[in-house]
Structure 1
């Protein structure tokens, strides 16, 4: 019991936020990673993990049978579910993918801004472990093990101030990285290269144009970026203002 209590106290321990300039730098680095094509090609797989995790969670919550997840080397992925091919459950499952990275980013921003960096890191490890049980291809297994190993190394070996900066950067990356795939999706749809995209599946399920669903994805992602960014810088802005006459 004492060990469990000590572990819980460690998980809920809070850390002081880094200086505002460092929070800004972490956001700028995330923006460069997302905006620069070579680095985006390497890092986009992290967004795919969150995307497919969103599909999987939505399937479980809507009581669809989850058959597995595949992650591919071209940064694409697929989540296989079993159940009614129509209806609310299928619609929610199809809609969850593109908004998942942004929503996960907001959650990460909230925990990070509140100082719960350790809880965030171990929460990510728990989610990756659950997702690992559902992976059905070798590349997906290797990808999750590499990401999980990196998160574990940060949580176990990195100094607390380094953990904090990485957590801020990860939150920025998820929120910024949640926007770009939506823009890419619309570009592919315009050229007729994504006939089976989530938006087009939703169009067939709801008889509402796919462009409407792309707009929904985009609005959610931009709103998440705005709110999450506010959470990340709110405390550091409010503190200096508190000393103004």
Structure 2
């Protein structure tokens, strides 16, 4: 086991050449296709949901709340339960962290990719899925993490570095694009509920409105600006010479 871990560490900390500009452009196009197509986006949406819940869970721990568990559902939704004060800045930060998390994680990863550590990014994702297993409380969620972690680990162990570099860039491009789409879906769901005479009382922005008194529509706009801004900055960092 120690030899395997040492080999993983060596691969993760060894820089590889970054993809040439033409390959980067093709990977960006593939990410657009994945996020735009219904079938592709459904797969992508599971990854977005995982990072969404990681955002809630991570901030909950940072502000001193107790993390009770995470659930991932087959409809690509998820829920994170934590214990602590029902109101206050810590609760606001915890609820707010979900939607920006995928785009901010992807944005933070772009300098690492640019430095050539794409394989390190993939092994970091494997480590994240292994850590989340401790907190997931339903079988479907464990299955999602198991499939994702095993797939990325198997690819990272067996494929050549040039292929893994392309895979990591594709994943980050996809997250940058998928995060704003999830906010657009939130806005569309709220509009649909309003037309049918229903009131949104469970979404993150509805909870933020109840906690702060700031209208949910303003929270939707803020989340949209954060995710779109992260996508624009991240994409520029990845395609710039």
TM-score (norm 1): 0.91
Aligned to 1:216: 222
Q: CA deviation at 1:143?
A: 0.3
Q: CA deviation at 1:130?
A: 1.1
C-alpha spacing 1:6/1:49, structure 2 compared with 1 (3 Å): closer
Aligned to 2:211: 205
Aligned to 2:234: 228
Aligned to 2:161: 160
Residues 176 and 225, structure 1, Cα contact 8 Å, conserved in 2: yes
Residues 68 and 83, structure 2, Cα contact 8 Å, conserved in 1: yes
Aligned to 2:68: 67
Aligned positions of 1:1-245 closer than 5 A: 8-192=9-193, 194-234=200-240, 237=241
C-alpha spacing 1:6/1:152, structure 2 compared with 1 (3 Å): closer
- Work out the CA distance in 1 between the residues paired with 2:158 and 2:111: 23
Q: CA deviation at 1:120?
A: 0.9
- Work out the CA distance in 1 between the residues paired with 2:15 and 2:88: 43
Number of corresponding residues: 234
Structure 1 moving runs of 4+ over 6 Å: 2-6
Residues 44 and 178, structure 2, Cα contact 8 Å, conserved in 1: no
Structure 2 unmatched ranges of 5 or more: none
Q: SS of the residue aligned with 1:191?
A: helix
Q: SS of the residue aligned with 1:22?
A: helix
Q: SS of the residue aligned with 1:79?
A: strand
Q: CA deviation at 1:38?
A: 2.2
- Work out the CA distance in 2 between the residues paired with 1:50 and 1:8: 23
- Work out the CA distance in 1 between the residues paired with 2:7 and 2:37: 43
Residues 71 and 139, structure 1, Cα contact 8 Å, conserved in 2: yes
Q: CA deviation at 1:210?
A: 0.5
Q: CA deviation at 1:110?
A: 2.0
Q: CA deviation at 1:123?
A: 1.2
- Work out the CA distance in 2 between the residues paired with 1:55 and 1:80: 9
- Work out the CA distance in 1 between the residues paired with 2:108 and 2:126: 15
TM-score (norm 2): 0.92
Structure 1 unmatched ranges of 5 or more: 238-245
Q: CA deviation at 1:150?
A: 1.0
